[in-house]
Amino acid sequence: MIELNNVSKTYTNGSQVVHALKNANLHIPKGAIHGVIGLSGAGKSTLIRCVNLLERPTEGSVMVDGQDITRLSAAQLNQARHRIGMIFQHFNLLTTRNVFDNVAFPLELTGQSKQAIKERVEPLLKLVGLADKASQFPAQLSGGQKQRVAIARALANEPAVLLCDEATSALDPQTTTSILELLRDINQTLGITILLITHEMEVVKSICHRVSLISAGELVEDAEVGDFFTAPRTQLGRDFLNDFLQLTPPKELVERLQSSPGERTHPVVRLTFSGDAVSTPLISRLARECGVDVSILQAKVESIQERTLGLMIAELLGDAQQTRQAITYLESHQLNVEVLGHVQRND
């Protein structure tokens, strides 16, 4: 439904050249909810704005619903944009129009009759839960209600695709949850393909099917959400995951960590495991099979899209050969083992 093929975007300000998007390839099938996550300045807004040509790519093609929109005339592009709805972080409502008239606006632009507009706007307001707010003005609404108006407006022309540009970043956690539920509902009942950009793992975890990670203008990972949360392939992916799970070693331990093993040190490891490994008594087996004791410093279990993810930070207590053997044993049982450093033994 959405395809970016080798899309690059370069901004030039005088002598300054910024490569905001570098050779991006992204294929999103019909009916999917796809998230793009990245740090500030990574190129998320540029990417999503290339999908409806609010930004025109410097290179590459953008296919939406089978049509290469980079090759359209201005009039054809205007027409194609009716099939691409968009919502924004700060809602972008027309402050002088009431709720009904905001949602009616795109229908007025396409020259629809008053009756047709009424027949379209009323069910949309009902869909987003604002049937009783039709005559209120944006200033009289909460942030969540404003975003609901924006969603209804984006759906007015029956788009095939909905682009969400940090749509929940200005909302509190509870309102965020209700807006994400509405988006999931719209995806399921209307079959609309959703592309969203965010810097929040919670958003990805809550509603996305797949996720891409963007870093310095490049798409560096593309994975099913369950896979991304259980085994991110890049250091940046692991950093996002660890920040989200807040699984960082205690400060006093970090101060004692040394990067290389010494004569009398133990490795400190971060273990991530999913699937069968979660229910296998691996820690007691480590003691039996490798002679290594495990001192657990932090542990938690998360449920991510019907998959269970176990996380642990632990000290492996044994001699160098035993701890090496223990790490190999864990890896052979599909655990992701990250050695965070080494600490001096106290004995």
Determine if 38 is a binding residue for ligand ATP (CB under 6 A). yes
Q: Which residues of 57-72 are buried (b: 16+ CB within 10 A; e: fewer)?
A: beebebbbbeeebbee
Provide, rounded to whole angstroms, the least separation between the CB of residue 54 and ligand ATP: 11
Provide, rounded to whole angstroms, the least separation between the CB of residue 91 and ligand ATP: 16
Closer of 44 and 146 to ligand ATP (Cβ): 44
Determine if 13 is a binding residue for ligand ATP (CB under 6 A). yes
Provide, rounded to whole angstroms, the least separation between the CB of residue 18 and ligand ATP: 4
Provide, rounded to whole angstroms, the least separation between the CB of residue 46 and ligand ATP: 3
Determine if 199 is a binding residue for ligand ATP (CB under 6 A). yes
Kindly state the tokens that stand for 88.
Answer: 């924004």
Determine if 171 is a binding residue for ligand ATP (CB under 6 A). no
How many Å apart are CA 209 and CA 216, to the nearest integer? Answer: 23
Q: How many residues does the chain have?
A: 347
Determine if 35 is a binding residue for ligand ATP (CB under 6 A). no
Determine if 20 is a binding residue for ligand ATP (CB under 6 A). yes
Closer of 17 and 75 to ligand ATP (Cβ): 17
By CB atoms closer than 10 A (0-12, 13-18, 19+), residue 173 is exposed
Determine if 41 is a binding residue for ligand ATP (CB under 6 A). yes
Answer for the pair 220, 234: CB distance below 8 angstroms, yes or no.
Answer: yes
Determine if 40 is a binding residue for ligand ATP (CB under 6 A). yes
- The strands making up 193-198's β-sheet, listed across from edge to edge, are 84-88, 161-165, 193-198, 33-38, 210-215, 218-224
Among 11, 25, 68, 344, binds ligand ATP (CB under 6 A): 11
Closer of 12 and 346 to ligand ATP (Cβ): 12
How many Å apart are CA 59 and CA 62, to the nearest integer? Answer: 10
- Contacts to ligand ATP from residues 276-315, by CB under 6 A: none
Provide, rounded to whole angstroms, the least separation between the CB of residue 212 and ligand ATP: 12
How many Å apart are CA 42 and CA 44, to the nearest integer? Answer: 6
Determine if 250 is a binding residue for ligand ATP (CB under 6 A). no
Provide, rounded to whole angstroms, the least separation between the CB of residue 103 and ligand ATP: 27
Closer of 42 and 167 to ligand ATP (Cβ): 42
Provide, rounded to whole angstroms, the least separation between the CB of residue 13 and ligand ATP: 5
Q: Taking CA 13 as the corner, what is the angle to CA 8 and CA 16, rounded to the nearest 5 degrees?
A: 80
Choose the stretch contacting ligand ATP; rule: CB under 6 A; options: 40-48, 272-280, 284-292, 295-303. 40-48
Q: How many H helices and E strands in the chain?
A: 13, 14
How many Å apart are CA 317 and CA 180, to the nearest integer? Answer: 45
Choose the stretch contacting ligand ATP; rule: CB under 6 A; options: 39-47, 77-85, 134-142, 282-290. 39-47
Place of tokens 């699984």: 247
Task: Give the CA distances from residue 281 to residues 231, 284, 312, 330, 336, in Å, rounded to whole numbers and listed in that order.
Answer: 20, 6, 14, 11, 16
Closer of 40 and 174 to ligand ATP (Cβ): 40
Closer of 91 and 273 to ligand ATP (Cβ): 91
Kindly state the tokens that stand for 225.
Answer: 């959400």
Alpha helix ranges (H) inside the chain:
44-51, 74-81, 99-109, 114-127, 143-155, 173-190, 201-207, 225-230, 235-245, 251-256, 276-279, 282-290, 320-332
Site string for ligand ATP, 42-61 (x = CB under 6 A): xxxxx---------------
Closer of 212 and 323 to ligand ATP (Cβ): 212
Among 5, 8, 18, 101, binds ligand ATP (CB under 6 A): 18
Given the DSSP bridges, would you call strands 307-317 and 265-274 parallel, antiparallel or unpaired? antiparallel
- Binding residues for ligand ATP, rule: CB under 6 A, are 11, 13, 18, 20, 38, 40-46, 199
